[in-house]
Amino acid sequence: MEVMLNRVLKSEDYVLQNLIQFYHYEFSQYVPVLRVNADGLFKKMGIANYWTNPEYHPFFIKVDGALAGFVMIRSNGEFSNVEQFFTLKYYAGQGVGRAAAKQVFELFPGKWRVLQVKNNYAAQAFWRKVISEYTGDRYFEKYDAKDDRSSVQEFHTDNRML
């Protein structure tokens, strides 16, 4: 199984918005304000800055050439942040998310921050495991008091395990 990251082109923004519908559906259990409209759709995510601001980087996650999810990164020169990360349920437990996360860390060397909302225990466990594997347990975790105790992991790619 080959996991690849492909930069999302502006002409593919509608595909990303389609996948974001699934992301919002899954995420709505943790963020109650995410609701569908009268047409049964979640509000489109504002993603225009991913093609106009050089700090933002959208990628499709593909498995053997097929769409499997997306990752959206913000890298401002001080820190890189995982803004959104999503893989389709079909790929759960197959190492797709782990492989994609490690690839994105390699694309943006330096300091990283990865945040998960409170109560999203599956995401917290996933990111702790991936970052721990990647850094050999050399990362720092804190809770963001401003964001109602969301978990935040910080690390540097220099700590990666080769």
User: What is the structure's pLDDT at 64?
Assistant: 97
Residues 58, 70: Cα–Cα separation, whole Å: 7
Output the pLDDT for position 147. 64
Handedness of CA 144, 114, 87, 68 (dihedral sign): positive
pLDDT of residue 160: 78
pTM metric for this prediction: 0.92
How far is the first Cα of the chain from the last one, in angstroms, to the nearest whole number?
Answer: 21
Q: Can you give the residue ranges of every domain in the chain?
A: 3-159
Round to whole Å and give the CA distance between 89 and 74: 25
Whether 115 contacts 144, CB under 8 Å: yes
| Tokens standing for residue 82 | 């995982």
Q: How is domain 3-159 classified at the architecture level of CATH?
A: 3-Layer(aba) Sandwich (3.40)
Query: What does the pLDDT read at residue 115?
Result: 92
Segment 3-33, tens digit of pLDDT = 999 999 999 999 999 999 999 999 999 888 8
* The pLDDT of residue 162: 57
Residues of the chain with pLDDT under 70: 144-145, 147-149, 161-162
pLDDT at 133: 95
Please tell me the predicted confidence (pLDDT) of residue 49.
93
